[in-house]
Structure 1
């Protein structure tokens, strides 16, 4: 059997860091210990390695995401594995899910423990990600995230716990597969995502989280924004003062996308009381379906970047 050609893209994160033995603080030291792992026992593949940058994932912006996208657009590899910090991994993965047109497997992985900590999960996660990228069944499943032997769709996965090895979950759907005993098993194929031919990613789209008694203060700062995502209460509801501010922003021409601050579920325009979701929809607010706030922001950004403002009602039905 001919070895598969895989592209490894290392971008930084805990998987590339070390813990200071004296203080316990975790940081980069100028070296990436995971970069030396380009041969894996029992894996018949040829690897090319790119390190466009080494940054903690809280430093990730859409510009770095575009750099990763361009590397994938240019590659002739049969699959791609990306090591990435876990804090914003779901966002970069979903951004690529929205913007890549290649149908080769693209798999993200990272680590919850740094390379020299006891029980470091980086090497095992990387091996599972490589095996997933080599699987014929991984084609046409969108961008994937592999952590702790679970295979998740970029569309549904989120970092649900800030510290444990089982940090990544897909609350509404569960994982779409697992890696067990060196074998990749898929349970189902996610619905295909919308894709966007983006041109300008330098848009300002903040995410605000609603809370009891929310007033107009934060909304008064948004006159120069290109769009707004609100993590609303419940199925998509707001306090009265906040709702009135949102309606005024919509009337000014600002696209406003409603999601929920709840961990799971689908926002729906159900309630018609003042500030209720139906009232907001009638005023022109859009609803994100089951996307969380950070992913709703990226989809709105991608749609606006692609010049599809007029299509927003169809993109967010």
Structure 2
């Protein structure tokens, strides 16, 4: 029987977390080898420690480094699937970054844990076992980057962390589950739409994110203008609306040549240029604001960093975001 090869890249996170007396709290500490579980039958696993941090410390530059490493593994044909262990706080961001920057030939699967490794009945081992199963399955090929957690398989483009502590931490909202890992193996419920991939070697890190809430003024947008940010993601409400003060700030940002993308704080549905008042989506569209589809603010920021780093201009950027 031909063995399937899975390469495990460990980055830290709660799955690798133990109690640190010197910190009087939990922190990532275990290596990838210490995390390893019994692999599925017929699967060989190689383990590499990419980093050992809790995921609040992960940056887009780290994500780019991880993407480069995975692309090198693909080029060398060293694996039939890849698993990345990662903290849950920013796992959806890293998964999305990899989905946009890594081609689809073999499965790339992220997983982690809600309970620390040193706690009673940690969920990390079961999640890692399911991730290895998904990464080694031929059914997972060509589906982009996946997130496997609590037996569920999510597409990177739609998944969000929905609970701070429950073991079932992630949801794909309106899009629904992509599949699941059960005692019978890996099952998929639907296909995933192809989106553009960027094998980038650099990203535009000077991209800001500002969230709107009732009664806010434009001071944070003015800060972005003053520091000459290359791009700005605005998390509006509803279908992508803000108040008049925010509208004036966005208008000024556009006059200074800044690329502005609007998304919604609502976890489901998409942004649309429907309302015509100053701050409504239609008024933002008249200023050349790009609409971010169903993307979360965090994912829209990463996509803008990647696409600006790839040299895309505004018409191309609008077409790109329309895919989401």
TM-score, reference length from structure 1: 0.95
2:67 to 66, 69, 91: 69
Report whether the alignment pairs 1:167 with 2:169: yes
- The residue number in structure 1 matching 2:318 is 313
Deviation track 1:1-52 (CA, whole Å, cap 9, x = no partner) reads: 21111100000000001136999832234x33x5235452642111221112
Q: Secondary structure at the match of 1:162?
A: coil
1:270-281 to 2 correspondences below 5 Å: 270-281=274-285
2:298 to 278, 291, 294: 294
- The residue number in structure 1 matching 2:273 is 269
- The residue number in structure 2 matching 1:225 is 229
- The residue number in structure 2 matching 1:19 is 19
TM-score, reference length from structure 2: 0.93
Q: Secondary structure at the match of 2:94?
A: helix
Note the C-alpha offset of 1:229.
Answer: 0.3
1-side partners of 2:321 and 2:204: how far apart?
Answer: 21
2:252 to 248, 271, 274: 248
Number of residues paired by the alignment?
A: 315
**Structure in which a larger fraction of residues adopt strand:** 2
Q: Secondary structure at the match of 2:45?
A: strand
1:121-160 to 2 correspondences below 5 Å: 121-160=123-162
Structure 1 unmatched ranges of 5 or more: none
2-side partners of 1:228 and 1:23: how far apart?
Answer: 36
- The residue number in structure 2 matching 1:116 is 118
Q: Secondary structure at the match of 2:47?
A: strand
Note the C-alpha offset of 1:137.
Answer: 0.9
Please identify runs of 4+ aligned residues in structure 1 that moved more than 4 A: 20-24
Equivalent pair of 1:19/1:117 in contact (CA under 8 Å): no
Note the C-alpha offset of 1:202.
Answer: 4.5
1-side partners of 2:258 and 2:39: how far apart?
Answer: 54
- The answer to which of 62-71 and 256-265 deviates more is 62-71
Q: Secondary structure at the match of 1:113?
A: coil
